[in-house]
Structure 1
Amino acid sequence: MMVPARLPVAPRPFRDELLSSWVVRVAARYGAEPLEVMIYLAGQGGRDAGARQVDDVAPDMELLRLWAKACRIDPERLHRRSLPSRYPAQPRDWFLTETVPTCIACFDADVAAGRDAYLRGHWRLAEQVVCQSHRTMLLDRCSACLGRLRPSFRMLNGLLRPFCRRCDAVLTGGGGEVEDPLKVDFAAEVLELQRQISRIVRGDSARLDRLDYAIRTLWAPLDRDGAARPVLALWFEQPGWNCPFEARAAVGSSAPLQHLSVRWRALTLVILHDIFGPDLVPGAVLPEAALVLFRRAAPMLWLAHSRDARNRKGKRAIDVGADRVHRLSKRRFHRLNRNFLDERGDFGRIHP
């Protein structure tokens, strides 16, 4: 029987580090990608483990045991770095599943502290769009090449530093976002909305259910066939606005925030505040602005049924107050706008 491999150098995970980030840091110490190290460890008795990757949301304990043995760490300590263990009250739909936005100022703080740069766990929470430590917007686009940001980590002056995987630009030394007063003010306002949303997501299940309902409806397709526009398009002042390509995957999705970039997630929070006020969620009676938006949503069966077991006992509170909206939305022509052949027939920006 083969003896499991032991890696001679294995950095310890930081307290707020993503599990996948720690795996990347371990592999980077050997100038390799995590998959290469995983295949090596699997070859020491891990069966087909080399074909899989460590997942932050649903980690495979077999893989964690391989890494734990190789790095001489308690596997339970690694498991506690997974997102469900770190945020047990966070629903799965509120974890980002694609790219991880980053805060450049946090990377600069790593440089100043003389430690490896790493990815923070809370960056993968869907409601997180502003860094709470530095009050700057998180970035998911490289400032150098403007492409989708996918950091890679390499040794630089004895420590790991983040680089853009696409253009190879170093992601430290810039001080984060440019100190534009408008950006600073916007980030401060969104930060407060972000905190409110976090309390709702990990708090009262009834309010979370209504919040999910509102977000899915805002990102539902319009009732006009072929419009390629979500319902929240009516919130804008441009009647002919079409949904950008980067946000189209969210239209009609049961978990829109998972498919949205930072700026679109931030805008969603702003629209929720604009329509529903400080509570950010609809109540039993919808405001007039919400009625106008919600009645323009194309009929969607999943809006009438809860996806969570906590709501299976009865009809959701938001459904009780919005039955009339559903009846109107199922009409071929809306009573306030009968000409869907012309984009100018759509409403402009709507406020409460």
Structure 2
Amino acid sequence: MGKAKSRANGDGDVYPRKNKAGEITSYRGAYFGPDGKRRYVSGKTKTEARNALAKARSDAAGGIVYDAGTTTLNTYLDQWLEDSVKNVVRQTTYERYETLCRVHIKPALGRVKLKSLTPDHVRKLYRDKLASGFSSRTVNYLHVTIHKALGQAVSDGIIGRNVARGVKSPRPGKAEIKPLSSDQAKTLVKTAKDIDDRYQALYLVALHTGMRSGEMLALRWDDVDLNGEKGSVQVRRTLSETRIGRLYELPKSGKGRSIKLSKKATDALKSHKRRQAEERLAAGTLWKDQDLVFPTTVGTPTSATNLLGRHFKPLLKEAELPNARLHDLRHTCATVLLIAGKHPKYVQELLGHASISITLDTYSHIIEGMDGGLGDAMDEAL
């Protein structure tokens, strides 16, 4: 029998790595890259390490080199946030990713080398967060963040695979929405008028158009057409409150939209414009003209926090209505329209949802009859 062919140094099978007690902790394999340098892969089991070695050799044969070196996840996330996220997405989105990395991901996995990160690392992070009392929605946000970051590393050729891709995150529960009933919405509008709330037009516009609060606070008179009995509004931006101050950004969907106003909304804005002219005269030189539709009494951007705490919450109390958020006026608009039988596609476009599935997922479970009457149809047909 001939002697088995020996392998080149650094091109053999995987070998075990042991701790001080002599216990096997992982397996490692070496191969030569197309540049002639020896490189290593590892795995928790022999099979996992062999699979990784086979893939690395195949990639090397094709001239592909994944070289994360000694880069830790901590270092990579900092680089990813700075180069691939900051000034690329909305500031509020960047801040959410940065917070998730800083508060949750980096303390748990930051010291792990990027090339050594495994699906088990990611699964354990999710389990630990759930066990600590964090919601499935928060853990799902973590999953999205890790998946995006590692996906970028794969695209950049730093690592060969996205270990988060095969990890299932917990399914977040539906966010509870609490729209006002039609009668409650009427009470809100009437009470706002009775007490002469200076933001009464904003509440009515929110109910009639479903605009987000940030979109209304960013609205300029140049975006509004009040000619004729029914006007229109162009939603072009949103006002975001960030760590670096208030910023005008693109709407949440990333694009603007045009909304036709109801007669009541048009009339409310016409009345509001006259009121604002009086406030402008009263403010005199203190007025800071930014052409905003819903500014403060001196023309500057209205703080969403102040609007909620100093105006909307007291209004709810005065109207003897249940506690609600400004955003619930948007939900009220959507449910009123859907209950009235308006097509979900129209409601999606009005609200500025990126897809109709978002509209249906958000509202179908709370609207009686949105099952389309399937059961009745089958009874009639069969």
TM-score scaled to structure 1, two decimals?
0.24
| Higher Rg of the two aligned structures | 2
Q: Which has the larger helix fraction? A: 2
Q: Which has the larger strand fraction? A: 2
Determine which structure has greater relative contact order: mean sequence separation of CA pairs < 8 Å that are 6+ residues apart, divided by chain length.
1
TM-score scaled to structure 2, two decimals?
0.23
